Amino acid sequence: MTFSQRIVIGFFKGLTNLICRFDDAELVKIPAQGPLIIYTNHVNLVEIPIIYTHLQPRRVHGMLLADRWKLPLVSWALDVAEAIPLHRGEADVVAIRKGLEVLERGEMLIIAPEGTRSHDGTLQGAHSGVVLLALHSCAPLIPMAYFGAEKYTQNLSHLHRTDFHIRVGEPFRLEAGNEKPSREVREQMTEEMMYQLGSLLPPQYRGRYADASLATSRFLVFGT
C-alpha cells in the first residue's frame, strides 16, 4: 500500500465514521484472496468510500462514471484508490479491458449494474456489462447490498449519525454453456443476478425485483 493510499483510506475512514454507524458483520463472507466481482446496488455517493475502506486490506477497484474525474482533488483520490473510469451510454471497451486485467491479477472489482444512483434505495433496472466481465474472466460473483443511508444528508444536518447496513450474498459463477450467449441471454443473466441482489434487501427496497416468484437461477452456479 502506497503512502497516498494510506492518506486516502485514513481520510475516508475518518469522514465516514463521523457520518455513519456500520452494520458490517457479513463482510466476513468476502474471500480473503482470489479474483472476485462484487456487484452492488447504487444509492448515493457515501457508499463508495465506505465500501472501499471496509474491504481493505484487499486490493479493490471500483468502476465509476468517468464524470467523477472532473474535479482535480477527486480525480487524484480516485486514481490513488485505483478506480476505473466508466463512460456512460456506451460499450466502454477500455474500462472492460482494465476490469479484466484486475481480475487476472487476482484482485477484486466492484461494479453497480444499475449504472446510476437511485437516491431512495429502490432497485432499478440493470445493465449487462457485468455479465461480459464475468463470462470473459470466469471470475466468481458475490452480490452486496446496502441500505439505511438514503437520508444521511438530513441526518447529518441534525448532527445524527446514520445506520449503514451491509448484506453479502453467496458466491456463484455464470454458466452460459458452450455457445456465445445472445443479448437476450445476457439480459436474462443480469435479471437473475439482480434478483439475488434484491433478496438481500428489505422488501421496500427491492423495486422491480420484489416478486420472488419471477426469480430463476438457470444461469447461476452456486458454491464456487
| pLDDT tens string 66-98 | 888 988 999 999 999 999 998 876 567 889 999
> Over 60: is that where the pLDDT of 10 sits?
yes
Q: Which CATH number covers residue 185? A: 3.40.1130.10
pTM: 0.93
**What's the pLDDT at 224?**
64
Boundaries of domain holding 25? 3-222
Amino acid at 12: F
Upstream peptide bond of 57 is cis (omega within 30 degrees of 0): yes
Number of structural domains in the chain: 1
Rounded CA separation 44/22 (Å)? 16
Amino acid at 34: G
| pLDDT tens string 153-172 | 899 888 899 999 999 999 99
The DSSP symbol for 128 reads S
